[in-house]
């Protein structure tokens, strides 16, 4: 088995009628010859991602998940728009090919983009790939440097001046994710009252440096060059991208970052190989970002705590679909553990913060 990310059979209940998609693509893209075949990338917990093949042409189709969704989430047209805007100026973005909101095709809006074939790191390094400590460090540095590169793009010059509302962005995020948690809470979920109160009380002033933010920038959303795994060649999953405070983006990224000395509750929900020898710590990643961006980290406890809370809400929203039988994906069953453990991590930040 190779070390590049490979699709698998489509999960039960998540198939679509391939012939309708085939006809749509041949009419929209052209130069496609042969019948369409479908496989599914099995990782990820939100929008569904499929590899579709027509003859020798391999592409990727993205559609919303099944079941209850947050009102503003899973907007395929919005995700397609940012790919269109960024692809010419940010080479890590896959080339978008076509979007449609015609529900007669697969029952929902979807878009198709080019496939960026490469290595995607999951919980542990794949068999056949090793990284020496200095290589792990360089990969972490590359990861944070590309996030800085994204934040340096002038969103007005690429036509995204109306893509978000930077004024009041942080407050809207805190209030919005608090509402989402309340709406998706199940009987076995914690109340999070202390956390919600603390992040509301510690909301910082609006950033003077609004930027394009990915909002789900993490190691398993980047594609690595198979010939040089330290080289990042793609960034995926732009569904939550917007214009806002770049420290919110960094806080959300570091909420996923489980390092070697973290307690067992975080180790149990680690999703990426962020604890291997040589990997930067959250403190080191933050220091590199702040030094290169010329910003202060004085109030970063807020951003990191909010990132943990937001990640818990995302896990809870997905778990809600499983809890109420809206999806059969067995991976979702254990997400309630992640919700509890992320809450414990957020509580620790509050207990030790000087804010």
DSSP annotation of 166: -
Q: How far apart are CA 220 and CA 257, in angstroms?
A: 11
Q: How far apart are CA 134 and CA 285, in angstroms?
A: 15
**Strand ranges (DSSP E) for 184-264?**
211-213, 222-225, 228-235, 242-244
Q: How far apart are CA 215 and CA 221, in angstroms?
A: 11
For residues 301 and 282, the answer to whether their CB atoms sit within 8 Å is no
Domain ranges in the chain are 18-114, 133-352
Please state which of the four CATH numbers 3.30.200.20, 3.30.930.10, 3.40.309.10, 2.60.120.200 is assigned to the domain occupying 18-114: 3.30.200.20
Element (H, E) at 308: helix 300-323
User: What pLDDT does 73 receive?
Assistant: 54
Q: How far apart are CA 191 and CA 213, in angstroms?
A: 29
**Strand ranges (DSSP E) for 55-205?**
57-63, 96-100, 110-114
User: What pLDDT does 71 receive?
Assistant: 46
Phi, psi of 342 (to 5 degrees): -65, -35
DSSP annotation of 112: E
Q: How far apart are CA 93 and CA 153, in angstroms?
A: 13
Tokens linked to 243: 């214009």
Q: How many CB atoms lie within 10 A of CB 91?
A: 11
Q: How far apart are CA 144 and CA 252, in angstroms?
A: 13
User: What pLDDT does 108 receive?
Assistant: 93
> In a structure prediction context, what are the per-residue pLDDT tens digits for the chain, which is 355 residues long?
457 778 899 988 898 999 999 999 999 998 899 999 999 998 766 789 999 999 999 999 999 987 544 444 568 999 999 999 999 999 999 999 999 999 999 999 999 999 999 999 999 999 999 999 999 999 999 999 999 999 999 999 999 999 999 999 999 999 999 999 999 999 999 999 999 999 999 999 998 899 999 999 999 999 999 999 999 999 999 999 999 999 999 999 999 999 999 999 999 999 999 999 999 999 999 999 999 999 999 999 999 999 999 999 999 999 998 999 888 778 899 999 999 999 999 999 999 999 8
Q: How far apart are CA 267 and CA 116, in angstroms?
A: 30
Q: How far apart are CA 280 and CA 211, in angstroms?
A: 24
Q: What is the pLDDT of residues 107-141, one digit of tens each?
A: 999 999 999 999 999 999 999 999 999 999 999 99
Q: Which residues pair with 69 in a beta bridge?
A: none
For residues 295 and 209, the answer to whether their CB atoms sit within 8 Å is yes
For residues 238 and 83, the answer to whether their CB atoms sit within 8 Å is yes
User: What pLDDT does 344 receive?
Assistant: 98
- 133-352 maps to which CATH number? 3.90.1200.10
Whole-prediction pTM: 0.92
Residue 116's nearest CA partner among 234, 238, 239 is: 234
């Amino acid at each position: 088995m190779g070390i590049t990310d490979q699709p698998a059979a489509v999960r039960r209940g998540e198939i679509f009628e391939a012939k309708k998609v085939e006809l749509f693509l041949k009419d929209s893209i052209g130069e496609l010859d042969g019948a369409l075949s479908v496989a599914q990338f099995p990782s990820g917990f939100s929008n569904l991602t499929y590899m579709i093949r027509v003859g020798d042409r391999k592409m990727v189709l993205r559609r919303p998940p099944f079941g209850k969704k947050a009102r503003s989430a899973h907007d395929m047209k919005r995700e397609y728009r940012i790919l269109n805007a960024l692809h010419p100026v940010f080479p890590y973005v896959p080339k978008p090919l076509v979007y449609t909101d015609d529900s007669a095709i697969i029952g929902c809006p979807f878009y198709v983009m080019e496939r960026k074939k490469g290595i995607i790191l999951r919980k542990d390094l794949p068999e056949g790939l090793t990284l020496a400590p200095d290589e792990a460090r360089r990969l972490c540095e590359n990861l944070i440097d590309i996030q800085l590169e994204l934040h340096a793009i002038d969103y007005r010059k690429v036509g995204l001046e109306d893509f978000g509302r930077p004024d009041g962005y942080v407050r809207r995020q805190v209030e919005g994710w608090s509402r989402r948690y309340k709406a998706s809470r199940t009987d076995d979920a914690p109340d999070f009252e202390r956390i919600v109160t603390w992040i509301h009380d510690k909301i910082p002033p609006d950033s003077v440096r609004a930027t394009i933010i990915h909002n789900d920038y993490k190691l398993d959303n980047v594609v690595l060059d198979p010939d040089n795994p330290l080289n990042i060649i793609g960034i995926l999953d732009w569904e939550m991208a917007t214009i806002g405070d770049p420290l919110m983006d960094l806080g959300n990224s570091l909420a996923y970052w489980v390092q070697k000395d973290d307690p067992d509750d975080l180790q149990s929900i680690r999703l990426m190989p962020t604890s291997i020898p040589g990997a930067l710590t959250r403190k080191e990643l933050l220091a590199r970002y702040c030094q290169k961006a010329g910003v202060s980290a004085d109030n970063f406890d807020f951003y990191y705590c909010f990132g943990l809370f937001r990640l818990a809400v995302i896990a809870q929203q997905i778990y809600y679909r499983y809890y109420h039988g809206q999806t059969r994906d067995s991976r979702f069953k254990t997400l309630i553990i992640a919700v509890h453990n992320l809450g414990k991590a957020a509580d620790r930040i509050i207990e030790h913060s000087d804010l």
